[in-house]
Amino acid sequence: MPISCSICDGKAILKRPKTGDALCKECFYYAFEEEIHKTIIDAKLFTSGETVAIGASGGKDSTVLAYTMKELNQRYNYGLDLVLLSVDEGITGYRDDSLETVKRNQIQYDLPLKIVSYEDLYGWSMDSIVKQIGLKNNCTFCGVFRRQALDRGAMMMKVDKIVTGHNADDIAETVIMNVLRGDIGRLRRCTAITTGTDGALPRCKPFKYTYEKEIVMYAYFKKLDYFSTECIYSPNAYRGFARAYIKDVEKIRPSAIIDIIHSGESLSVKKDVRLPVQGTCERCGYMSSNPVCKACVLLEGLNRGLPRLGIGKTHKERRKADEAEKAKKAAENLNSEDQKSCDNSSDQSNNRTCVSSCQCSTDISKLTLNSKPDVSKLDF
């Protein structure tokens, strides 16, 4: 006997992963979109007249985000100017293909698109970084550079806000990872729906409560054009374990994803716990809890042939580099007292690369590890 849609009594064709409700396609679309609208309204994410950049990778999350943002903006008159913003990490055989999807989305959704590349911003593509450092820690470089690249692209486009496709599963994974690492500072911030409000460009996550499985279903039934291959450099084992754990508990208890997010939101930090103090990088002005931001340290490591600089918190190479930097500054001070015109000295050339390529501010971007829709799980 056919199962009826729990909203309209029509023929149900799927079971919602989040609630277990049997729904027809149209009622699923409606429930999915209305929940995102409610999230946007409850959190007051936007103000009419704002220009909002949608971080677009061509993957399922950002493609569904672009589609639903455009729909809801029209349906509910948000009054937003939407644009697509992509980062080209320079990964041959992966990002070049996914950017082709974004270019098609640009035409399909009739939205302006800007692409910023690591090569242009930092002088290094991920292909060249991996050639130098191998496949260990490559995601650290990529994540830190992408965070800044997205901000810099957004500033070039003069947008007011960035939205990213982080979904509920991603946020639950991050909560678990931060618990396992004991990273209280990040644990406190990682469930915020908007970050970067303290001076830099705000970033919002309209999919904060949206399940990944439902995003896949939505993209599949709507036949959206998205890219579903994994990055060729993706050894991100730590997140992979957190992801596998979340998927396992979700099988037993689907509400576990939202429950983990709520647990993260409700955590309070004891008064005597020392949290990192946010300041700005003395080289590039980007937000940083250290005198020099992580991107500048990583870039310096690449440019000086010390790729392990900045990997780990107190790595001895960083200490060595700090000492070398201090010695260099002391020598420069001595020289400048004797000889006042050293502006173009070769000693400053390392810094020049960094300073000219790092002029931004703000927060985190997304590791879009796409997965193919498992269509067998979509129907009853």
Q: Which residues are annotated as a binding site for ATP?
A: 55-57, 61, 87, 165, 170
Cβ-based nearer residue to Zn ion, 69 or 358: 358
Long-range CB contacts for residues 288-296, cutoff 8 Å, separation at least 24: 289/185, 293/358, 294/144, 295/144, 295/145, 295/147, 295/148, 295/358, 296/354, 296/358
Cβ-based nearer residue to ligand SF4, 236 or 303: 236
Q: Is 142 in the site for ligand SF4 (CB under 6 A)?
A: yes
* 374: CB partners within 8 A, 6+ apart: 216
Q: Which stretch binds ligand SF4 (CB under 6 A): 114-122, 159-167, 187-195, 230-238?
A: 230-238
Q: Is 143 in the site for ligand SF4 (CB under 6 A)?
A: yes
Pair type for strands 22-23 and 14-15: antiparallel
Q: Which of 43, 249, 355, 367 binds ligand SF4 (CB under 6 A)?
A: 367
Q: Residue 126 touches which of ligand SF4, Zn ion, none (CB < 5 to 8 A by kind)?
A: ligand SF4
Q: Which stretch binds ligand SF4 (CB under 6 A): 148-156, 215-223, 226-234, 310-318?
A: 226-234
Q: Which of 231, 358, 360, 364 binds Zn ion (CB under 5 A)?
A: 358
The CB-of-137 to ligand SF4 minimum distance in angstroms stands at 10
Q: Is 234 in the site for ligand SF4 (CB under 6 A)?
A: yes
Helix (H) or strand (E) holding 194: strand 194-195
The CB-of-135 to ligand SF4 minimum distance in angstroms stands at 9
Q: Which of 67, 207, 227, 286 binds Zn ion (CB under 5 A)?
A: 286
What is the DSSP code (8-state) at residue 311?
A: S
Contact 206, 36 (CB under 8 A): yes
* Angle of the 237-252 helix axis to the 168-181 helix axis, nearest 10: 120
Q: Tokens for 16, please give them.
A: 């919602």
* CA neighbor of 132 nearest in space, from 379, 247, 301, 367: 301
Cα 253 to Cα 173, 178, 212, 312: the distances in Å are 15, 22, 15, 35
Pair type for strands 161-163 and 279-280: unpaired
Binding site, annotated residues: 55-57, 61, 87, 165, 170
Residues 70-129 interacting with ligand SF4 (rule: CB under 6 A): 89, 126
Q: Which stretch binds Zn ion (CB under 5 A): 31-39, 49-57, 122-130, 278-286?
A: 278-286
Cβ-based nearer residue to ligand SF4, 94 or 209: 94
Q: Tokens for 326, please give them.
A: 């201090």
Q: Residue 214 touches which of ligand SF4, Zn ion, none (CB < 5 to 8 A by kind)?
A: none
Q: In whole angstroms, what is the distance from residue 230 CA to residue 26 CA?
A: 30
The CB-of-177 to ligand SF4 minimum distance in angstroms stands at 14
The CB-of-230 to ligand SF4 minimum distance in angstroms stands at 7
Count of CB atoms within 10 A of residue 8's CB?
13
Q: Residue 89 touches which of Zn ion, ligand SF4, none (CB < 5 to 8 A by kind)?
A: ligand SF4
Q: Is 298 in the site for ligand SF4 (CB under 6 A)?
A: no
Q: CA-based angle 350:138:316, to the nearest 5? A: 60
Residues that bind ligand SF4 (CB under 6 A): 89, 126, 138-139, 142-143, 231, 233-234, 236, 367
Residues that bind Zn ion (CB under 5 A): 281, 283-284, 286, 293, 296, 358
